[in-house]
Amino acid sequence: MAATGSEKQGGKAFYVTTPIYYVNDAPHLGHAYTTVAGDVLSRWHRQRGEKVWYLTGTDEHGQKIMRTADANGVSPQEWCDRLVEEAWKPLWEHLEIANDDFIRTTQKRHTDRVREFVQDLYDKGEIYKSSYEGPYCVGCEEYKLPGELLDGEGEYAGQQLCPIHRKPVELLQEENYFFKLSEYGDKLLAHYEANPGFIQPESARNEVVNFVRQGLQDLSISRSTFDWGIPIPWDDKHVIYVWIDALLNYATAVGYNENPEKFESTFPADVHLVGKDILRFHAIIWPAMLMANGLPLPGKVAANGWLMVGGEKMSKSNLTGIKPQDLTSHFGVDAYRWYFLRAIAFGQDGSFSWEDFSARYTSELANDYGNLASRVAAMVGKYFGGELPEATAAGEPEQSIHDGLTRAVTEADRRVGDELDFQGGILAVFDFVKQVNGYITEQEPWKVAKDKTEEGQARLATILYTAAESLRAVAVLLNPVMPDTSQQLWDSLGAEPALGPIATQKVQDSGTWGQLPPGSTITKGAVLFPRLEEQPTA
């Protein structure tokens, strides 16, 4: 697993998490979407010069895992080990995910701390024993309220369906242990009001607030009808409810009750990135658990929307689950990372289509960005022997480029780093790319090159330096999104000998003009975004 070594000395790290993903099957585009978003956010904050800790991992307990393993003729642990090592970790490496840790809920560092956390709640009188009967969705691992259920049709006629999985719920009756969640409604509402950015986007916040205002029920936190889970410390006939177990990964992975220094310098998370279907767990149950144990609450819980294919949510159960490798093998990893954050506003549902990806790749990546890099390198090579000339004849056109870059840096940094508006940040950078393309078209360096006077050659040098220096800044700004192609461009510009590795360049300083030294060796490397082959047939 790619590691960044970004744990630094002193001070609080910027702590980003993905959900820990349920390993009942291999990852699909929806899982990768959230993980890439977290990676871009983490890389962006690293390039602000901040300490960063990026956590992802897998959720490996619960009834759904047990049933899936049984159906495949292996033990639950064998099933989890196989999926993690053969599907989940390899995909994150393939997609250049630079996570600092990968937590598995079957690891001892997690299970021991979960037992301690739950024991603390029990000792404080926050947990009691009672019986419960209600509709349960194994897919969600959650009891459902009757008002949430859908009436089945067709093969499910006469049955009640989970609104997310569209499959019949099971009626369960168990004697369980309960957490006094009902006592935290007012405290949660007060926190939401005092911290309006705690739940994002606003539509998701409104949904959670309305749900809490209707009154919370106490939460069943144990199961006694199966044994694939962490045993309750004081009653080993019960295992801890998988969501209580899972949510605690955000604490156990950074040293809760084990490494006080690490815990103090990392916890709580600044941003929990989650799918909107698990928002309530993170925005209601998780903060209530932390309140009950006297721990600080996260900075924000940001819910991304669903990826839609043919109008249906991306998932294995409805057969719209597409492997990320199906796309990366055709478009490349960097283009994959770029596309989903560029095409879909984070927090909203978005539709994916092969045709849309192809069109955006060709128009924005190949024609606008890749072609600009190729043209500039080719002209520096042709007119100045590959040595970056000095700009000595700058005027209003160049000032316009300087101003455009300043705007792009300011807007991209605000949108990506502060607002989680990945689409807006990427568009700000690509608007600048379009401006530079327009500048070259208007200045016509190929015509200016015919003027062999000292003034003509100074003008040509200024145009090409302006274009190359613009690309230097673009490479830095896009490095969190497309690290491989940004490195290629950095190498093509000969930037590293004078400026150092691209990963050390601060995004907020990238707009400072004149960083690329005249005399740098410009080389025309491989095309950043090659022409696409025909779409493969099924």
Nearest to 280 by CA among 526, 7, 19: 19
List beta partners, residue 130. 176
- Alpha-carbon radius of gyration of the chain: 26
Contact (CB, 8 A) for 210 and 257: no
As to burial, measured by CB atoms within 10 angstroms (0-12 exposed, 13-18 middle, 19+ buried), residue 117 is buried
At 157, the pLDDT band (50, 70, 90 cuts) reads: confident
Instruction: State residue 322's pLDDT score.
Output: 76
Is the distance from CB of 1 to CB of 92 less than 8 angstroms?
yes
Q: Is the pLDDT of residue 131 over 90?
A: no
Q: Is the pLDDT of residue 308 over 90?
A: no
Q: What is the pLDDT of residue 139?
A: 73
Cα–Cα distance list, 376 to 438, 457, 489, 499 (Å): 13, 16, 11, 20
pLDDT band for position 392 (50/70/90)? Answer: very high
Rounded to an integer, what distance in angstroms lies between the CA atom of residue 368 and that of residue 101? 36
Query: Looking at the predicted structure, is the pLDDT value of residue 513 above 50?
Result: yes
> CA–CA separation, 141 vs 253, rounded Å?
22
Predicted local distance difference test score (pLDDT) of residue 505: 98
- Condensed to tens digits (0 to 9), the pLDDT of residues 173-190 reads 778 999 999 999 999 999
Has this prediction a pTM greater than 0.85? yes
For residue 536, pLDDT over 60 is answered with no
Which pLDDT band, with edges at 50, 70 and 90, does 225 fall under?
A: confident
Q: Which of 57, 56, 47, 58 is nearest to 6 (CA)?
A: 47
Angle between helices 333-343 and 29-46 (to 10 degrees): 90
Closest to 220 measured CA to CA, from 144, 145, 143: 143
Say whether pLDDT at 134 is over 60.
Answer: yes
- Looking at per-residue pLDDT, the higher value among 313 and 486 belongs to 486
Tell me how many degrees the CA angle 246-249-252 measures, rounded to the nearest 5: 140
Cα–Cα distance measured from residue 354 to residue 98, given in angstroms and rounded to the nearest whole number: 27
- Name residue 150's beta-bridge partners: 161
Q: How far apart are alpha carbons 490 and 477 in whole angstroms? A: 12
Task: Place 279 in a pLDDT band, splitting at 50, 70 and 90.
Answer: very high
Average pLDDT in the chain: 93
Tell me how far apart the alpha carbons of residues 175 and 295 are, in angstroms, rounded to a whole number: 29
Q: How far is CA 421 from CA 40, 62, 304, 411, 424, in A?
A: 11, 34, 11, 10, 5
Q: Is the pLDDT confidence value at 107 over 80?
A: yes
What pLDDT band is residue 520 in, cutting at 50, 70 and 90? very high
pLDDT at 103: 98
Residue 507 corresponds to which tokens in the numbers above?
């995004």
Q: What are phi and psi of 300, to 5 degrees?
A: -155, 155
Sheet containing 312-313, strands listed edge to edge, beginning at the edge strand earlier in sequence? 312-313, 307-309, 350-351
CA angle 496, 489, 486 (to 5 degrees): 95
**3-state secondary structure (DSSP) of residue 153:** coil
The pLDDT of residue 8 is: 39
pLDDT at 147 over 80: no
Confidence of residue 535 (pLDDT cuts 50, 70, 90): low
- Say whether pLDDT at 316 is over 90: no
> 10 falls in which pLDDT band (50, 70, 90)?
low
- Whole-number Å distance between alpha carbons of 131 and 177: 8
Q: What SS3 state is found at 275?
A: strand
Band the pLDDT of 538: cuts 50, 70, 90.
very low
What is the predicted pLDDT for the residue at 318?
A: 43
Active site amino acids? 28, 31, 137, 140, 162, 165, 313, 316
30-54 tens-digit pLDDT: 899 999 999 999 999 999 999 999 9
Percentage of the chain beyond pLDDT 70 is: 95
